[in-house]
């Protein structure tokens, strides 16, 4: 594993970036790296106490400025208010990282209509609310800007047992590709990252409760035989939110050690065949030539 910080110092200097769900997990990790690269950072979510603690710790670690703003992304007025507070503090906003999400595992037929909606509302509607409010602002100000959405690999494959999340993330992917074209003329780039397994408390408590974490060990699903390191994701996010990726627009970049492809290839299950068996199998397949 190579988890050194990637970009040169001050790569994000002068940029203000808003990270939704920035108080915990991957949002926190990406935000911390943006700060180290010289950005001004706004972190936002529902729990102000969590945000404030994270903001204080981030500022202590990096010496940079962090603003914590309470905002439920499901509520458009709160999103507009969060944008205003960010502008009041830093003068302008250059980047939006739509990272906030909700998820849990369940057979779909066990879900209430409200359970389904609760995930769609956070992930799809929340991303739409933030993107719309920020986009309107940037277009009216004639300001070039950057939207980065965190999806998942099952945004394009679908997945059983997380169907509301799969529907919502699929919608976010459609939003990414649509706006990349429509808002490109305003200098607004829109991209997405599809992470594979990066252990966080938020995701693991809801996707792998109890001993599922051992029984369903994600690293066994990954060709590289390990889960992701937060800095690997932070490097990619910083690149995509920076001007170094200025000609990348409408792209979704997968960072999963090859996980989803391993599940997709029809014969990939042959990985389970022990090396010593291949001589025998070769003989058998060669002898099938004349049949
Ligand atoms: C069935 C459930 C349920 C469960 C909640 N509900 N949990 N139904 N199984 N395990 C139902 C409730 O009964 C209710 O429906 C409805 O869902 C809303 O629940 P609330 O608790 O009122 O919702 P809310 O307070 O808004 O909380 C949202 C939440 C919660 C998603 C349920 O877990 C949350 O706050 N999550 C935020 C963080 C998070 O999820 N992080 C993980 C992201 S990981 P009724 O009908 O009873 O009213 C991720 C990974 C992707 O996305 C891929 C990884 C490899
Ligand atoms: P996490 O720590 O649980 O992060 C989710 C964040 O979303 C929390 O900070 C939460 O804060 C915030 N949030 C939830 N509902 C919100 C709302 N209504 N308004 C505003 N904020 C809200 O989990 P994570 O693993 O870091 O996930 C981060 C992102 O990565 C998500 O988009 C997830 O789908 C994606 N992802 C993760 C993995 C992985 O392996 N971890 C894999 C693929 C994709 P509050 O509770 O304070 O609101």
* Domain residue spans of the chain: 16-289
Beta-sheet strand order (sheet of 40-45): 66-70, 40-45, 16-20, 95-98, 145-150, 188-195, 252-255
Q: For the chain, what is the total number of helices (H) and then of strands (E)?
A: 12, 7
Taking CA atoms, 57 is separated from 238, 262, 285, in Å, by: 20, 38, 61
Which atom of ligand 2 has the smallest separation from the CA of 151?
44
Whether 20 contacts 44, CB under 8 Å: yes
Catalytic positions, written as ranges: 154
How many Å apart are CA 95 and CA 75, to the nearest integer? Answer: 20
For residue 125, give the ligand nearest its CA.
2
Backbone φ/ψ region at 165: left (φ over 0), alpha (ψ -120 to 50), beta: alpha
How many Å apart are CA 3 and CA 231, to the nearest integer? Answer: 6
Q: Give the model's pLDDT for residue 1.
A: 86
CA of 60 to the centre of ligand 1 (A): 32
CA of 18 to the centre of ligand 2 (A): 14
Radius of gyration, alpha carbons of the chain = 21
CA angle 46, 194, 268 (to 5 degrees): 135
Helix (H) or strand (E) holding 55: helix 48-62
Fold for domain 16-289? Rossmann fold (3.40.50)
Residues 6+ apart with CB under 8 A from 187: 143, 144, 145
Q: Is the CB of 203 under 6 A from ligand 2?
A: yes
Whether 232 contacts 3, CB under 8 Å: yes
Beta strands in the chain (DSSP E): 16-20, 40-45, 66-70, 95-98, 145-150, 188-195, 252-255
Q: Give the model's pLDDT for residue 291.
A: 65
Per-residue pLDDT reduced to its tens digit, 95-130: 999 999 999 999 999 999 999 999 999 999 999 999
How many Å apart are CA 287 and CA 291, to the nearest integer? Answer: 8
Q: Give the model's pLDDT for residue 53.
A: 98
Give the residue whose CA is nearest to atom 34 of ligand 1.
Answer: 102
How many Å apart are CA 150 and CA 145, to the nearest integer? Answer: 17
CA of 266 to the centre of ligand 1 (A): 33
Q: Which DSSP category does 74 fall into?
A: T
Q: Is the CB of 26 under 6 A from ligand 2?
A: yes
Q: Give the model's pLDDT for residue 65.
A: 84
CA of 79 to the centre of ligand 1 (A): 21
Query: Would you write out the chain's pLDDT as a tens digit for each of its 291 residues?
Result: 889 999 999 999 999 999 999 999 999 999 999 999 999 999 999 999 999 999 999 999 999 989 999 999 999 999 999 999 999 999 999 999 999 999 999 999 999 999 999 999 999 999 999 999 999 999 999 999 999 999 999 999 999 999 999 999 999 999 999 999 999 999 999 999 999 999 999 999 999 999 898 888 999 999 999 999 999 999 999 999 999 999 999 999 999 999 999 999 999 889 899 999 999 999 999 999 766
Q: Is the CB of 130 under 6 A from ligand 2?
A: no
Q: Which DSSP category does 31 fall into?
A: H
The β-bridge relationship of strands 40-45 and 16-20 is: parallel
Q: Give the model's pLDDT for residue 104.
A: 96
């Amino acid at each position: 594993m190579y988890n050194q910080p990637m970009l040169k110092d001050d790569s994000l200097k002068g940029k203000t970036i808003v990270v939704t769900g920035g108080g915990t997990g991957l949002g926190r990790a990406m935000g911390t790296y943006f700060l180290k690269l010289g950005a001004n950072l706004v972190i936002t979510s529902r729990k102000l106490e969590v945000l404030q603690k994270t903001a204080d710790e981030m500022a202590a670690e990096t010496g940079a400025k962090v603003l914590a703003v309470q905002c439920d992304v499901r509520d458009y007025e709160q999103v507009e208010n969060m944008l205003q507070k960010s502008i009041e503090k830093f003068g302008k906003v250059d980047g939006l990282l739509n990272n906030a999400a909700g998820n849990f595992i369940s057979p779909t037929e066990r879900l209430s209509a409200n359970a389904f909606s609760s995930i769609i509302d956070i992930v799809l509607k929340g991303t739409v609310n933030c993107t719309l409010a920020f986009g309107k602002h940037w277009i009216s100000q004639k300001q070039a800007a950057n939207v980065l959405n965190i999806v998942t690999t099952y945004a394009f494959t679908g997945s059983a047992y997380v169907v509301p999340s799969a529907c919502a993330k699929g919608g976010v992917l459609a939003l990414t590709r649509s706006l990349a074209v429509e808002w490109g003329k305003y200098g607004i780039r829109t991209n997405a990252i599809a992470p594979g397994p990066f252990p966080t408390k938020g995701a693991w408590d809801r996707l792998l409760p109890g001993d599922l974490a051992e029984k369903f060990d994600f690293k066994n699903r990954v060709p590289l035989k390990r889960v992701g390191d937060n800095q690997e994701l932070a490097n990619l996010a910083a690149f995509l939110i920076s001007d170094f990726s200025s000609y990348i627009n409408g792209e979704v970049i997968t960072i999963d050690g090859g996980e989803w492809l391993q599940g997709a290839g029809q014969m990939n299950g042959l990985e389970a065949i022990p090396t010593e068996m291949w001589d025998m199998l070769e003989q058998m397949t060669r002898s099938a030539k004349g049949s």
